[in-house]
Structure 1
Amino acid sequence: MIEESIFKAYDIRGIYPETLDEEAARLIGRALVAHLGLSGSRVVVGRDMRLSGEPLQKAFIDGVTASGADVLDLGMVSTDAMYFAVGSLEEPGGAMITASHNPKQYNGFKLCREGARALSGEDGLFQMRDLILSGKLPDPPEFRGSVEVTDITEDYAKHCLSFIDREGLRPLKIVVDAGNGMAGKMLPPVFEELPFEVIPMYFALDGSFPNHPPNPIEPENMVELQERVVAEGADFGVAFDGDADRCFLVDEQGRTVSGDILAALVAKNILEKEPGATILYNAICSKALPELVEREGGRAIRTKVGHSIIKPQMRDNDAAFGGEHSGHFYFRDNYYADSGIIAMLTAAELVARQDGPLSALLAPIDPYVRSGEINSEVPDAQAAIDRVERFYEKRGGADTDRLDGLTVDSGDWWFNLRPSNTEPLLRLNVEAADRSTVERVQNEVLGMIRA
């Protein structure tokens, strides 16, 4: 039948072929058509370079077409390009076969409806799961949908380039680590139009990931890029995840730039072009981000973590941009979908319009020290959070809120403690003006939750 556990809060994901195989892909295709009422309409389908991608895509397309819907097959693309195709072509549904940053044995599906609105657990995925498990999928109609193959790589490159002004940009040297993922295909037509020298790392599409896992949020996967940037005397480096919808920067000194600080850079660029714009950021982002937005005359709105939260709030507030610490960057003019390529371009435009290096651009934006995300396995996450909250409320001198997990803010330091959406973990992020304060607060909190 189908493994219930593959339906997650934000997408469908499992290990091929143990928990996610061709039969599951076929059922997911049928369920998507049934849930969105797409019979007689068209579904956009893309995949990344994972070794299981081709058989899963073929089975998924079979399920879609057997249910009476046509398919526009994009072949191998980035996830953000799939969203672009659904939005720009005004199609009623889309699917990307990818497991994003996960190791090679994983694969999955990111699904969306009209306007590139992503389906999430509570808004579509769990309903599809229940429909499959009930055995009540509609019988296939007498007619089968057709399949049309197209290539949107060039169109998407032009779309990404429309977010920046290419006039007067100084030449830059940029090291790009594609991680054998989809950035290796999507970036060349973008860079062809720019005065930048690109030093490519691992642009060959290879779902076995022979060099390192396609997960730039893990520090060990950034080390080679950091060393290469310094060795080449590059202006900065950038690493993408497997499906190229996320990116992370490295400055000219080889230091990594956190996702929320890159979001602050993007926000700065957007506010220069659209004064007074609304910018969304999640509860784990550095205070540097909302402080920059307010200094630049924008409106900053704090949200819970996750695209299924941020994207609807962006629509409700007509927000130009939304950023997350995890390297997801959402753009109103990209159908509110995330794009690592557009984020990289907006940051590169800022660097190429000044004489100084990236670090000089960042220095006045980011005065804080951060712990990074610290994970702890605990038997009862909610009890641990309650214990920490009681401690700080009893001691006083700090504000607390439960927007997303627990945030405690003293003014001089703050932390967020929240349960993972996907694993039995508590995630702690601490920020302060100096390292000693970060370590003191970090040790205090960890002592309580790990006791």
Structure 2
Amino acid sequence: MSTLLSPFAYDASIMMTASHLPYTRNGLKFFTKRGGLTSPEVKEICDKAARKYANRLTKVSTMLRTTPTRVDFMSCYAKHLRDIIKERVNHPVHYHTPLKGFQIIVNAGNGSGGFFTWHVLDKLGADTFGSLHLNPDGMFPNHIPNPEDKTAMALTRAAVLQNSADLGIVFDTDVDRSGVVDNSGNPINGDKLIALMSAIVLREHPGTTIVTDARTSVELTRFITNRGGQHCLYRVGYGNVIDKGINLNKDGIETHLMMETSGHGALKENYYLDDGAYMMVKIIIEIVRMKLAESHRQRDSRSHKRS
């Protein structure tokens, strides 16, 4: 997003992460305005760099030509997410705090997802008391930050039930994956999370194609087709799933959701990025809209009875 949002709009960006791998591992993800670089593209860059180094075509120096500047991009990104929630909920009473009256538990697993609690939910009026493991700690002292991890889901479920929260959110380390726990303590990940996102996307884009990896169930296919959607099963690997969605859109086949059972999910409207925070934004907007619609129905019912 740092290559897209003003005033930054960088030509390229690099994210240091190896997701939920052990603390002894790390990695790099490369991005341009087109999105994340694919494995072949990263390999090509590395091969070119290796050839130049081997042939001494590029002078290797530890001296920086320009001094790096530290910027606060996360505030810009968090505002971007807040604005989406405010605009799409369009709360009739408190527009700027549309999450007032909602309690949402976040389990960041000591990864980088704590910002979503402090800079998105809290500022929109949500009650986030009871949230877990928000401070980053690469040693992962509590559990692996992973929406597929049983401990992560169990702790989030317990927190939701203990606090009578409306929703629980589980992020992985670098927030490209997420899962949820509903207000009854039911974990929603894997096929269930894809089904939830499919229901939201199909209402917004009737008849759209949804791409998943081939591990998803027949029940999910039935769920999607019963709602008028098309289900395209493709090779395992979130990169493969996202690329398939991109290519289908290029071929004129409307495809708005690409999602893998591990929790990686990308939306056409969000630049095809597997962004777990954006996925949660979509779900939170849905929950608030449902509550507003229910309140409206109750008011209409009371008014009808009085009349």
Partner amino acid, structure 1, of 2:110:
N
Per-residue displacement from partner, 1:16-65 (whole Å, max 9, x unpaired)?
Answer: xxxxxxxxxxxxxxxxxxxxxxxxxxxxxxxxxxxxxxxxxxxxxxxxxx
Does residue 149 (structure 1) correspond to residue 70 (structure 2)? The answer is: yes
Alignment partners' CA distance in 1, 2:107 and 2:56: 43
> What CA deviation, in whole Å up to 9, does each residue of 1:255-288 have, x standing for no partner?
3212332122122212222333332111112334
1:140 maps to 2:70: no
When structure 1 is superposed on structure 2, of 224-233 and 270-279 the one drifting more is: 270-279
Say if 1:216 and 1:241, in contact at 8 Å, map to a contact too.
yes
Contact 1:185 1:205 in 2 (8 A): no
2:171 matches 1:237:
no
1:338 to 249, 261, 274: 274
Tell me by how many angstroms 1:221 deviates. 2.9
- 2:95 matched residue in structure 1: none
CA contact (8 A) 1:87 1:115 kept: no
CA distance in 2, matches of 1:203, 1:197: 15
Do the aligned residues in 2 keep the contact of 1:328 with 1:338 (CA within 8 Å)?
Answer: yes
Distance 1:226 1:240, change over 3 A: same
* Structure (1/2) with the larger strand percentage: 1
Structure with greater proportional helix content? 2
Task: Tell me the TM-score normalized by structure 2.
Answer: 0.77
Q: Indicate if the aligned counterparts of 2:89 and 2:289 stay in contact, CA closer than 8 A.
A: no
In the alignment, what sits opposite 1:394?
Answer: none
How far is the alpha carbon of 1:141 from its aligned partner?
8.6
Q: In 2 relative to 1, CA 284–87 (structure 1 residues): closer, same or farther, beyond 3 Å?
A: farther
Does the CA-based 8 Å contact 1:283-1:305 persist in structure 2?
yes
Does 2:264 correspond to 1:328? yes
Instruction: Classify 1:137/1:295 alpha carbon distance in 2 versus 1 (closer, same or farther; 3 Å).
Output: farther
Matched, 1:160 2:81: yes
Q: Offset at 1:126?
A: 3.1
* Helix, strand or coil at the partner of 1:320: strand
Deviation per CA, 1:329-353: give whole Å up to 9, x if none.
Answer: 1021222111111111222222333
Aligned to 2:114: 184
% identical equivalent positions: 28
Distance 1:137 1:306, change over 3 A: farther
For 1:220-235, what aligned pairs fall within 5 Å after superposition?
Answer: 220-235=151-166
The alpha carbon displacement at 1:195 in A equals: 4.3
Kindly tell me: are residues 155 and 255 of structure 1, through their superposed partners in 2, closer, same or farther at Cα, counting changes over 3 Å?
Answer: same
Contact 2:169-2:180 at 8 Å conserved across structures: yes
Q: State the shift of 1:140 in Å.
A: 3.5
Deviations 1:69-88 (A, max 9, x none): xxxxxxxxxxxxxxx11244
Query: Taking structure 1 as the reference length, what is the TM-score of the superposition?
Result: 0.54
1:86 aligns with 2:3: yes
CA root-mean-square deviation: 2.7
The aligned counterpart of 1:284 is 215
Query: Does the 8 A contact of 1:230 with 1:254 survive in 2?
Result: yes
8 Å Cα contact 1:86/1:93 also seen in 2: yes
> Is 1:100 the counterpart of 2:19 in the alignment?
yes
Partner Cα separation in structure 2 for residue 293 and residue 195 of structure 1: 34
Alignment of 1:337-416 (within 5 A): 337-354=273-290
2-side partners of 1:221 and 1:141: how far apart? Answer: 44
Report the number of matched residues: 271
- Segment drifting more, 274-283 vs 238-247: 274-283
- Alignment-mate amino acid for residue 176 of structure 1: V
Aligned to 2:202: 271
Deviation of 1:131 after TM superposition, in Å, equals: 4.4
Distance 1:296 1:208 in 2: 43
In the superposition, relative to structure 1, how do residues 137 and 279 fare at CA in structure 2: closer, same or farther (>3 Å)? Answer: farther
Task: Give ranges in structure 2 of 5+ residues lacking alignment.
Answer: 92-97, 250-254, 293-307
